[in-house]
Amino acid sequence: MRIAWLPGDGVGFEVTQGPVQLLRSPLLADLVEVTGPWPVGATGFHQTGELRPPETFEACREADAILLGAVGEDPAVDKAACPRPELSLVGLRREFDLRVSVREVLSPSDGQVTTVVRNLLGGAYTGEEDHEESDGVSTEAADRIVLTPPQVAEVAEIAFDLTGTAPSRRVISVDKWSLYATSRLWRDVVTRVADERGVGIDHVLVDRAAYELASTRPLPQMVITEGLFGDILSDLICGRAGSPALCGSASIRPSGGSGVSALYEPAHGSAPARTGHDVANPTGSFLALAMLLDTDDATKHVADAVRRALLEEIATGEVTYDLAADGTQPVGTREFAERVVATTERLASVAS
């Protein structure tokens, strides 16, 4: 497996260092090759004048997967010179047809994972041609949302592949059926696929889903939903879990095409104010790494070890600022990551 490492902006470099160290360790070095760091995002623009420099694009074409840190604001880059660095991520997804998002949020309190599967191309995530800008005074702005039945079916199939026919907890499909034609299509298609698979699901309107996910009810095992709803709800689930850094994110191309077929990243942003201070929580990057290692039988046992190592290390209470209890001294990114790497190595060598 060849992995292109794109640290990107802000804390992206710091939070991916631990996962890259693990990928390059004796545990995985025979199975995985890491190339990079390759420039992307605001810092890529700063260095090369392009959001996705050609060398980075070439590296992604030659790799199986991308490990990305973050794209967004970076303290070293003038905001006015590069106003929308996020477009580099949208562009990478589009370029390699990474059309489905799978996110795993880990709740340290009970060790359970909530998975969110959504479409990343089509729906609310449209091309530039589907956005009509207003002049801000007199002309209208418009965004076109288009979904096809196969796009919805693919997302549902992937979600049910992950839960199997007997999910251990609730599976919900989220839409705004009462308002949108795309949501009515969504509900019809997801119902059909669930019936074919024999999986019991609940349909929940997005506002109600937001309430339920934010309440004290147990979190569902799986949330299946449209792109923008999933973007919002996955952050909300992170809020329940305790930190935006508790989410690993995969953007995947389930079939066909060429070049990288998946991009793995923590779901959080570039956190410019925390950049360079060795404070950010690298858990999301490790969870993204676990999702990557899940895709190959030869590395699956390491994925399990990573998740168990994260839970073990978080349970010590010696954690980064976002998870540290009041009155305790937080540990830095590097120290926490080193402990996760060491514990993963211990757990994985017992497993193999």
- CA gap 239, 276 in Å, rounded: 24
Contact residue for Mn ion among 231, 265, 313, 345 (CB under 5 A): 231
Q: Shortest gap between Cβ of 311 and ligand IPM (angstroms)?
A: 24
Determine, following the binding rule CB under 6 A, whether residue 89 of this chain makes contact with ligand IPM.
yes
Contact residue for ligand IPM among 40, 68, 100, 267 (CB under 6 A): 267
Instruction: List phi, psi (to 5°) of 121.
Output: -125, 145
Instruction: List phi, psi (to 5°) of 181.
Output: -65, -40
CA distances from residue 41 to 46, 74, 303 in whole angstroms, order as listed: 9, 9, 28
Determine, following the binding rule CB under 5 A, whether residue 73 of this chain makes contact with Mn ion.
no
Q: Shortest gap between Cβ of 33 and ligand IPM (angstroms)?
A: 26
Beta-carbon contacts of residue 335 (< 8 Å; ≥ 6 apart): none
The interface region with Mn ion, picked from 223-231, 247-255, 283-291, 322-330 by CB under 5 A, is 223-231
Beta-carbon contacts of residue 160 (< 8 Å; ≥ 6 apart): 193, 194, 197, 199
Beta-carbon contacts of residue 279 (< 8 Å; ≥ 6 apart): 320, 321, 330, 332, 333
How many helices and strands in the chain, by DSSP H and E?
Answer: 11, 12
The interface region with ligand IPM, picked from 82-90, 169-177, 206-214, 312-320 by CB under 6 A, is 82-90
89 binds, among ligand IPM, Mn ion, none (CB under 5 to 8 A by kind): ligand IPM
Determine, following the binding rule CB under 6 A, whether residue 305 of this chain makes contact with ligand IPM.
no
Q: Shortest gap between Cβ of 325 and ligand IPM (angstroms)?
A: 28
The interface region with ligand IPM, picked from 45-53, 85-93, 139-147, 254-262 by CB under 6 A, is 85-93
Tokens of 5: 């490492």
- CA gap 298, 106 in Å, rounded: 23
Q: Which runs of E-coded beta strand occur in 159-219?
A: 171-175, 202-205
β partners of residue 112: 107
Q: Shortest gap between Cβ of 181 and ligand IPM (angstroms)?
A: 22
The interface region with ligand IPM, picked from 43-51, 83-91, 106-114, 320-328 by CB under 6 A, is 83-91
Tokens of 133: 């800008």
Q: Shortest gap between Cβ of 267 and ligand IPM (angstroms)?
A: 6
Tokens of 114: 């909530």
The interface region with ligand IPM, picked from 60-68, 84-92, 283-291, 311-319 by CB under 6 A, is 84-92
Number of residues that bind Mn ion (CB under 5 A): 1
Q: Are 140 and 134 in contact (CB under 8 A)?
A: yes
Q: Are 110 and 146 in contact (CB under 8 A)?
A: no
Binding positions for ligand IPM, 213-242, rule CB under 6 A? 231
Number of residues that bind ligand IPM (CB under 6 A): 5
H helices within 247-323, ranges in order?
283-293, 300-315
Q: Shortest gap between Cβ of 185 and ligand IPM (angstroms)?
A: 21
Q: Shortest gap between Cβ of 315 and Mn ion (angstroms)?
A: 27
Q: Are 32 and 23 in contact (CB under 8 A)?
A: yes
Which of 5, 11, 6, 4 is CA-nearest to residue 73? Answer: 11
Determine, following the binding rule CB under 6 A, whether residue 86 of this chain makes contact with ligand IPM.
yes
Q: For residues 98 and 201, which CB has a smaller minimum distance to ligand IPM in the complex? A: 98
Q: For residues 19 and 244, which CB has a smaller minimum distance to ligand IPM in the complex? A: 244
β partners of residue 115: 104, 222
Q: For residues 62 and 143, which CB has a smaller minimum distance to ligand IPM in the complex? A: 143
* CB-based burial label for 27 (10 Å; 0-12, 13-18, 19+): buried
Closest-approach residue to Mn ion (CB) = 231
Determine, following the binding rule CB under 6 A, whether residue 9 of this chain makes contact with ligand IPM.
no
Contact residue for ligand IPM among 46, 75, 90, 278 (CB under 6 A): 90
Point out which residues bind ligand IPM (CB under 6 A).
86, 89-90, 231, 267
Point out which residues bind Mn ion (CB under 5 A).
231
